[in-house]
């Protein structure tokens, strides 16, 4: 969870009121935060929202609290000055790091608190939201030391020399990656390409080598800096603009004036950044009633939403109507109506919801699926197999590439924490094979199984996907073959009283002629086979492996 350092007086000045530590602890519930440590006036605040980068600095926290303690409510409004600076984007950089956005902050009075918060926000957003600069990297510069216009292009490793921040001498881009501490730390982000991203000003001086390091000439911001340039580069414009908006808003909350920047590509297409756009949304009033346990009045609904920094367009009068609202684009976490209702609940206060005892006695019992799953696990344990439990999150490489299969449409995470956990698994077999690949030093034969949930796309579902239960079995050993897997499957089916039929069918994952389609009581439910040598090689397994996987219905 992101933990940020905050000076209590600085936070109070931004909010416009003073807090005792106890009052602040209570108020931080509005941002899913809590005080993690106190040292004099210095606070450590842990933010539980990993999908709210706008809250990872003191300005973002204050922005939310102001809406609860003043009439400054709804989507925050920021005046912007029309652009004068232009950043031209070369076609050369498109295949390396294609997206860039920028803003100018004028007349900002920088003190120690602002400088500390600026550096902290830059590190938190680029490190966490930006996936350690892979998705988003941020550069902040002294604008007065830059000659317009700017060019965002790509250079060869031995290209234009410049002095990196804290570099002490001029270096080529290749030397930066080999010598400079930041270069060595983030070299993996660019060294797979034959050219590196670079930003050059009108005097042909290097401003930045994103996502690695700023130049010493313009990249050192001090308390004497008055006008700042913020540039954000990355792989997707949506994330780049979100990061830019958050930093621009934070400095505007400090008294800075936001000036837009023209971004011009090689075809003379122009976009202007930043823009503080809003998105229209609607929430079913019945969802509010069902979640709260009662129906708030229309006036109260409007108040709760505005205190949560939404704009309310209209509220339908009937209880089965909708609330029509707007939210700012930096709120990438708003994907479902329940996300909005959760904000309303926080504004209302969870402690303010009165608990009610049930009007009649109800007796709990296990869900039928739980009873069924216990029985299925007992059957598999009886075969001598060991149960494993793996994560429902995985990656496309494991699901498809390593299994000799073409990519298929699956549920993907919009902003994954790691590329290793970027999709929801659609089947279990890769998880079993991965475990076998990590236990090649363990005595064979190895017999494992997993009963777990998988996720597949379903456009008819309200959330666009559905969950299903699957059972998978795998056995590895020097003498293992197709018959071993089929014998276990026959025992499984016989115990359940189901008729098993295996029809020969080739599959890219299996050796030709050693695989089949599984039918239980005449319904196709899965596959069985002996893994292809290429699949074993992909996973670095040196003994035969057989698997079967079926859907539980």
Chain-centroid distance, C-alpha 102: 22
Give pLDDT, residue 419.
79
Tokens of 274: 């930043």
Q: Do 112 and 238 belong to one domain?
A: yes
Q: Do 200 and 218 belong to one domain?
A: yes
Give pLDDT, residue 304.
96
Bridging pattern class, strands 228-234 and 86-89: unpaired
Question: Which of 304, 324, 352 is where one domain is finished?
Answer: 352
Give pLDDT, residue 463.
80
Give pLDDT, residue 306.
96
Give pLDDT, residue 351.
86
Give pLDDT, residue 144.
94
Q: Do 225 and 246 belong to one domain?
A: yes
- Residue 181 placed within a domain: yes
What is the spatial distance between Cα 53 and Cα 135, in angstroms, rounded to a whole number?
A: 14
Q: Do 54 and 89 belong to one domain?
A: no
Domain range for 344: 278-352
- Below-70 pLDDT ranges, the chain: 417
What is the spatial distance between Cα 130 and Cα 138, in angstroms, rounded to a whole number?
A: 9
- Residue 244 placed within a domain: yes
Number of domains comprising the chain: 4
- Residue 21 placed within a domain: yes
Tokens of 64: 């939310």
Q: Do 130 and 162 belong to one domain?
A: yes
Contact predicate 263/102, CB 8 Å: yes
In this structure, how many other beta carbons lie within 10 angstroms of the beta carbon of residue 266?
Answer: 12
Question: Which of 290, 321, 352 is where one domain is finished?
Answer: 352
User: Is 86 in a helix, a strand, or coil?
Assistant: strand
- Residue 359 placed within a domain: no
What is the spatial distance between Cα 145 and Cα 203, in angstroms, rounded to a whole number?
A: 11
Q: Which helix (H) or strand (E) holds 436?
A: helix 429-437
Give pLDDT, residue 452.
95
Could you give the C-alpha distances from 245 to 22, 67, 147, 248, 455, in angstroms and in order?
A: 32, 19, 24, 5, 34
- Residue 343 placed within a domain: yes
What is the spatial distance between Cα 26 and Cα 549, in angstroms, rounded to a whole number?
A: 50
Q: Which helix (H) or strand (E) holds 435?
A: helix 429-437
CATH (domain of 65):
3.30.56.10
CATH (domain of 471):
3.30.930.10
CATH (domain of 248):
3.50.40.10
Q: Do 290 and 268 belong to one domain?
A: no
What is the spatial distance between Cα 298 and Cα 315, in angstroms, rounded to a whole number?
A: 7
Give Cβ neighbours of residue 506 (< 8 Å, ≥ 6 apart). 512, 513, 515
Give pLDDT, residue 354.
84
Q: Do 118 and 37 belong to one domain?
A: no
Helix axes 298-307, 337-348, angle to 10 degrees: 90
Give pLDDT, residue 295.
92
What is the spatial distance between Cα 481 and Cα 544, in angstroms, rounded to a whole number?
A: 7
Q: Do 169 and 261 belong to one domain?
A: yes
Give Cβ neighbours of residue 126 (< 8 Å, ≥ 6 apart). 132, 133, 136, 137, 138, 211, 243
Nearest to 430 by CA among 482, 395, 387: 395
- Residue 111 placed within a domain: yes
Give Cβ neighbours of residue 359 (< 8 Å, ≥ 6 apart). none
- Residue 362 placed within a domain: no
Give pLDDT, residue 459.
82
Q: Do 19 and 48 belong to one domain?
A: yes
Q: Do 444 and 525 belong to one domain?
A: yes
Phi-psi region of 395 (alpha: psi -120 to 50; beta: other; left: phi over 0): beta
Give pLDDT, residue 256.
94
Question: Which of 69, 96, 121 is where one domain is finished?
Answer: 69
Q: Do 98 and 227 belong to one domain?
A: yes
Contact predicate 402/539, CB 8 Å: yes
By CB atoms closer than 10 A (0-12, 13-18, 19+), residue 212 is buried
What is the spatial distance between Cα 176 and Cα 168, in angstroms, rounded to a whole number?
A: 11
- Largest CA-CA distance found in the chain, in angstroms, rounded: 81
Question: For 429-440, how does the pLDDT look when each residue is reduced to its tens digit (9 = 90+)?
Answer: 999 999 999 999
- Residue 75 placed within a domain: no
Q: Do 388 and 501 belong to one domain?
A: yes
């Amino acid at each position: 969870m992101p933990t940020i350092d905050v000076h209590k007086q600085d936070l109070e000045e931004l909010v416009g009121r003073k807090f005792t530590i106890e009052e602040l602890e209570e108020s931080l519930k509005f941002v899913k935060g809590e005080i993690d440590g106190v040292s004099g006036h210095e606070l450590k605040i842990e933010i539980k929202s990993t999908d709210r980068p706008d809250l990872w600095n003191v300005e973002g926290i204050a922005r939310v609290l102001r809406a609860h303690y003043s009439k400054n409510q709804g989507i925050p409004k920021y005046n912007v000055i029309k652009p004068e600076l232009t950043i031209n984007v070369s076609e050369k950089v498109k295949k390396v790091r294609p997206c860039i956005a920028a803003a100018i902050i004028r007349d900002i009075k920088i003190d120690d608190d602002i400088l500390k918060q600026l550096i902290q926000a830059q590190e938190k957003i680029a490190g966490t939201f930006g996936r350690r600069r892979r998705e988003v990297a941020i550069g902040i510069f002294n604008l007065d030391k830059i000659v317009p216009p700017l060019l965002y292009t790509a250079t060869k490793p031995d290209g234009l020399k410049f002095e990196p921040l804290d570099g002490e001498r001029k270096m080529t881009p290749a030397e930066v990656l080999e010598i400079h501490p930041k270069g060595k730390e983030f070299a993996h982000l660019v060294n797979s390409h034959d050219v590196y991203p670079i930003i050059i000003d009108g005097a042909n001086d290097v401003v930045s080598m994103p996502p690695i390091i700023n130049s010493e000439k313009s990249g050192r911001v001090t308390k004497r800096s008055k006008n700042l340039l913020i540039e954000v580069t990355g792989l997707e414009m949506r994330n780049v603009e979100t990061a830019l908006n958050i930093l621009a808003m934070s400095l505007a909350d400090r008294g800075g004036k936001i000036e837009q920047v023209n971004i011009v590509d090689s075809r003379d297409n122009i976009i202007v950044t930043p823009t503080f756009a809003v998105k229209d949304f609607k929430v079913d009033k019945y969802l509010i009633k069902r979640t709260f346990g009662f129906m708030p009045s229309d006036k109260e609904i409007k108040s709760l939403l505005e205190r949560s920094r939404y704009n309310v367009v209209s509220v339908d009068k009937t209880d089965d109507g909708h609330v029509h609202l707007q939210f700012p684009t930096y709120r990438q976490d708003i994907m479902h109506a329940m996300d909005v209702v959760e904000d309303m609940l926080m504004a209302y206060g969870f402690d303010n919801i009165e608990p009610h005892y049930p009007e009649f006695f109800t007796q709990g019992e296990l869900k039928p699926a739980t009873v069924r799953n216990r029985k299925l696990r007992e059957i598999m344990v009886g075969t001598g197999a060991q149960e494993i439990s793996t994560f429902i999150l995985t990656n496309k490489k494991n699901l498809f590439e390593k299994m000799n299969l073409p990519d298929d449409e699956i549920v993907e995470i919009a902003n994954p924490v790691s590329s290793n956990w970027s999709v929801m698994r659609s089947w279990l077999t890769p998880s079993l094979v991965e475990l076998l690949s990590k236990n090649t030093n363990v005595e064979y034969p190895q017999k494992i199984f997993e009963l777990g949930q998988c996720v597949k796309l379903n456009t008819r579902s309200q959330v666009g996907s559905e969950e299903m239960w699957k059972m998978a079995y795998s056995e590895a050993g020097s003498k293992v073959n197709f018959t071993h897997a089929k014998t276990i499957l026959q025992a499984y089916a016989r115990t359940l009283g189901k008729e098993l039929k295996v029809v020969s069918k080739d599959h890219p994952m299996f050796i030709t002629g050693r695989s089949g389609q599984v039918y239980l009581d005449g319904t196709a439910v899965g596959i069985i086979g002996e893994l292809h040598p290429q699949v074993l090689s992909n996973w670095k397994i040196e003994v035969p492996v057989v698997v079967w996987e079926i859907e539980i219905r």
